[in-house]
Amino acid sequence: MKGGPGVFPSKKGDIGVIHFIRTMEIKFERYHLQSDLRSPFEGFETISVPTEVRVDPLTKRRSRIITWGLPSPGKFDFSNMAEESKGCLFCLENIFQKTPQFMKEIVPEGRVCIGRAVGFPNLNPVGSYGSIVVLCREHFLSLNQLTPEIYEEGLSVAIEIIRRTTAFDPDTRHWQISQNFLLPGGSTILHPHLQVIGDPIPTNEMEWLLDASSSYYQKNGTSYWNDLIQTEKELGKRYITRIGKVHWFVSFAPIGFNEVCASAEGHGSVATLGKEEIASLARGIASTLKYYDGKGLNSFNLSIYSISGEAHYQLLTRIISRTPFQPYYLNDWTSFEILHSELTSNIIPEELCREIQPYFA
């Protein structure tokens, strides 16, 4: 690969860094790629199609920003699907009879309930501690019906499960609170719910975040997360807003469509969050989902990467939209993402920040 910081492509096909900003030690690297072809829509005249490759300032992972081939908005009517699947395991008539209970040593009362949210162990776990938090009584809610209050209760249950499990087994330091919404997001159950998963070992993503955060600290003597927030605030192009101690922003190099992130100041784990911080997190999640709904999107994935005992890491939340569910829907993960770990985004991050800001007001 030719080129380097500040070097422009010298001839067609060369790759060069076209933009290089150095603020503290955070580097926003971008590469401009271009594909030339003769288009049938332009009388077979030569056209150039650009792609921007961005490198994540922390993990150095590359993402491609593409703006063609946007998935069409979902116009799917869920009423039949919701009607047919009503009375599921998570519906009120079944939830207290047919879902598992926690071990007595962890949750003596069997399940954790706060408001409408109910938490219990996952019958099909993927690790040491797997739980489900059913968010609401309604069997189906669209993205604009998932309110901050629903998330506040749901996150509170998830965090209570994490606190109690960690008190029982302190080695379980790596937790995720995740959500898969609708089939494109990987969920077969329509009823809105969270997954709470805890293990003594990190996931790949957690390990990359931890390793990169501590190398950044070793090099610079400062926290990457504080520096990032400071830098994004100063640049003003991707910083959405601050809700209490939670900073919301769009990533420079997203790993999914319409990616929105949050960082909670002064926390690595959700276990130490106070009521107000949980509410701030809930509000931002609901605002993001409202924005997705406004764009005709209906499916998403969410994850909160909660890790305790790591001095240089700060609690990260990441939400991405998935291609809308409808008949013959398009999966947005192709061989590029799944086999090359090269991720794509179909919106320019700075544009997403501008568009989403009013939803956080």
Largest CA distance in the chain: 73
By CB under 5 A, which span of 56-64, 170-178, 190-198, 339-347 interacts with Zn ion? 190-198
**How many angstroms separate the CA atoms of 209 and 59, rounded?**
7
Comparison of 191 and 247: residue with beta carbon closer to Zn ion: 191
By CB under 5 A, which span of 5-13, 86-94, 168-176, 338-346 interacts with Zn ion? 86-94
Which of 139, 174, 238, 322 touches Zn ion (CB under 5 A)? 139
Provide, rounded to whole angstroms, the least separation between the CB of residue 91 and Zn ion: 4
Q: Which residues contact 285 (CB under 8 A, 6 or more apart)?
A: 146, 148, 151, 302, 317, 319
Tell me if 181 contacts Zn ion by CB under 5 A. no
By CB under 5 A, which span of 85-93, 153-161, 236-244, 353-361 interacts with Zn ion? 85-93
Tell me if 88 contacts Zn ion by CB under 5 A. yes
By CB under 5 A, which span of 134-142, 213-221, 295-303, 345-353 interacts with Zn ion? 134-142
Over the window 211 to 240, marking each residue x when it contacts Zn ion by CB under 5 A and - when it does not, the resulting string is: ------------------------------
Comparison of 139 and 322: residue with beta carbon closer to Zn ion: 139
**Number of residues in contact with Zn ion under rule CB under 5 A:** 5
Comparison of 136 and 286: residue with beta carbon closer to Zn ion: 136
Tell me if 82 contacts Zn ion by CB under 5 A. no
Positive or negative, the Cα torsion across 329, 330, 332, 333?
Answer: positive
Comparison of 88 and 113: residue with beta carbon closer to Zn ion: 88
Tell me if 191 contacts Zn ion by CB under 5 A. yes
Q: What angle do CA 318, 322, 325 make, to 5 degrees?
A: 145
Tell me if 193 contacts Zn ion by CB under 5 A. no
Provide, rounded to whole angstroms, the least separation between the CB of residue 126 and Zn ion: 22
Tell me if 90 contacts Zn ion by CB under 5 A. yes
Integer-rounded Cα radius of gyration of the chain? 21
Tell me if 81 contacts Zn ion by CB under 5 A. no
Comparison of 191 and 283: residue with beta carbon closer to Zn ion: 191
Estimate to the nearest angstrom the gap between the alpha carbon of 151 and the chain centroid: 15
Comparison of 90 and 300: residue with beta carbon closer to Zn ion: 90
CA distances from 8 to 35, 50, 64, 336 (A): 16, 15, 18, 26
Which of 24, 91, 114, 183 touches Zn ion (CB under 5 A)? 91
**Interface with Zn ion (CB under 5 A):** 88, 90-91, 139, 191
